[in-house]
Amino acid sequence: MHRNLARSVRLLSVASVLAAGAALAPPASAAAPARPAAAAVQRAADNPYQRGPAPTEASITAEKGPFAIETIPVPAGSGTGFNKGTVYAPTDTSQGTFGAIVVSPGFVSPEAWISWYGPRLASQGFVVMTLETNSLVDVPASRGDQLLAALDWLTGKSGVKNRIDTSRTAVMGHSMGGGGTLEAANKRPSLKADIPLAPWDTNYSFPNIRTPTLIMGADNDFIAPASSMAESYYNNVRTAPEKAYLLLRNAGHMTFTSPNTTIAKYSIAWMKRFVDNDTRYDQFLCPAPKPDAGIAKYLDTCPNG
């Protein structure tokens, strides 16, 4: 086991370094689509957290959602317990405040590798912060602490705090950042959702997770093998009220560092369903998605509310 874990760390370090040249530069802020007309926004009377128009397959798989967003750099020293990052926030607050999500990169991985999640999620109606970790080699437990520290700063001290509903928060991360996501959810059961992406952690016990948890893995991942990591974590998260496991088809460990429609679709659906309590997104999660060109396997408890 120790030899296998050591090999995984070596492979992860090599893969990250090789991919660095392709993704180090942070993306420029993309022009966001015009905000939805007020007449087009149908809000359910029994759900004050519902944001945006009724979802469709086209809207949930689109590169840009219905909300115009702004991009705000977060310099080092802005808060305690984390390094720096970038905030992506909707500019239209006419529908109310938004849920908040913080995203962590993986081992020896810069923020730029997970930056695509920022605008993709924010334009669907969330305030999102992507992190540059304190050190490229931080272990999962440290990354979990950084996720929570950044989340506390985002909701309590950032310039966009007034756009956030502090009762609706979530975390996600890739690789060791995915392990950190599990660690954070285990430490803070009040989170509304967590999404570990190809998670890597030597800890397999998360007895305090009370958070709806979506774990994604990749069928060709040789760094964090899905069968011994992602799926094992799914099986060991026994106290989550809802959980799901999505195995990507023809994908590897670094697939999560580039825009991917399947990853985005189910991340958005999960966050909308559990952070916004928006049952309009049940259609994408329950009945369970069937294996297709993008999905090799899907396990779940089916969120029926």
d(CA 38, CA 42): 8
Angle at 143 between CA 189 and CA 231, to 5 degrees: 65
SS3 (DSSP) at 58: helix
Active site residue 258: no
Annotated catalytic residue: which of 175, 201, 276, 278? 175
Annotated catalytic residue: which of 92, 194, 221, 278? 221
Any idea which residue has 């999660």 for tokens? 285
Structure confidence at residue 46 (pLDDT)? 74
Angle at 98 between CA 94 and CA 102, to 5 degrees: 150
Structure confidence at residue 18 (pLDDT)? 37
Q: pLDDT tens for residues 113-157? A: 999 999 999 999 999 999 999 999 999 999 999 999 999 999 999
Structure confidence at residue 3 (pLDDT)? 46
Other beta carbons within 10 Å of 263: 24
The more confidently predicted of residues 2 and 256 is 256
Whether residue 304 has pLDDT greater than 90: no
230's CB contacts (< 8 A; 6+ apart) are 196, 198, 199, 215, 216, 217, 221, 224, 245, 247
Active site residue 221: yes
Whether residue 16 has pLDDT greater than 80: no
pLDDT band at 12 (very low <50, low <70, confident <90, very high): low
Whether residue 290 has pLDDT greater than 80: yes
What distance lies between CA 75 and its chain's CA centroid?
Answer: 21
Other beta carbons within 10 Å of 217: 30
Any idea which residue has 């106290």 for tokens? 239
The more confidently predicted of residues 5 and 48 is 48
Average pLDDT over residues 243-260: 98
Structure confidence at residue 28 (pLDDT)? 38
Q: What percent of the chain clears pLDDT 70, i.e. is strictly above it? A: 84
User: Is 119 in contact with 148 (CB distance < 8 Å)?
Assistant: no
Give the single-character DSSP code of 288. P
Structure confidence at residue 183 (pLDDT)? 98
Structure confidence at residue 22 (pLDDT)? 38
Average pLDDT over residues 174-191: 98
pTM of the entire predicted model: 0.87
The more confidently predicted of residues 62 and 28 is 62
Other beta carbons within 10 Å of 152: 19
Annotated catalytic residue: which of 201, 253, 267, 276? 253
Average pLDDT over residues 186-215: 98
Active site residue 8: no
pLDDT band at 302 (very low <50, low <70, confident <90, very high): confident
